[in-house]
Amino acid sequence: MQRTILGRTNLEVSRIGLGTGGASQIGRRTGLNEEQSADLLRRAFDRGVNFVDTAEGYHTEPIVGRALRGRDRSSIVISTKKSTRNLKVTPQTLHASLDQSLNQLGTDYIDLYNLHGVVPQDYPQLVADIYPALQEAQRQGKIRFVGLSEMFNEDPDHTMLQQALSDGCWDVLMVGFNILNQTAREKVLIKAKTQNIGIQIM
């Protein structure tokens, strides 16, 4: 499995990561039980995939935690996300969600903690009120790096991520980039590369 460095995090990750959301949610929506879904993750790990992406909104964090049991924690890079869309996020709710994610994942730290589905109109408040809470969690050793994911269907021009790139405080950005819409190439990806910001493609 080919690996790469995830921007300025210096985390070495497999070029192909394993997502646990989407239409399938690692088989949970197509008839697999939790143990069968966890086994899919174990098989991927055994074949060299070392990057797994989950989120509180996917309800798959416990399955990731099950797959990690008995495995060298430092060998797997975990990315999870705190939901923000149509929610009032405060430092208190962020810390509560983070602690719940840590518990469900069965780990004492998360490699990459993202604000999930951020839209342009919410971004200023999240930077002002929530980014300091993320920094506090970093100081506590609960998270290593911070990132954002966009709400691609609502923000196809990547307005929020362009704001985030101007701020320069995020380690990783999760961007919508596919065969039907490649606008991120010019609006996000090139600038992110010059800033050595890690990119997750969704």
- Give the residue among 145, 74, 139, 136 at the shortest CA–CA distance from 115: 145
CA-atom Rg of the chain in angstroms: 16
113 among known catalytic residues: no
Q: What CA–CA distance (Å, rounded) separates 189 from 185? A: 5
Catalytic residue among 58, 109, 113, 131: 58
State the burial class of residue 178 (Cβ atoms within 10 Å of its Cβ: 0-12, 13-18, 19+).
exposed
Report how far apart, in Å, the C-alpha atoms of 11 and of each of 77, 158, 187 are: 8, 25, 25
Q: What CA–CA distance (Å, rounded) separates 156 from 134? A: 26
Number of Cβ within 10 Å of residue 103's Cβ equals 13
Q: In what order do the strands lie in the sheet with 77-83?
A: 18-19, 51-53, 77-83, 110-118, 143-150, 172-175, 198-201
Q: What CA–CA distance (Å, rounded) separates 12 from 185? A: 23
Residues marked active site are found at: 58
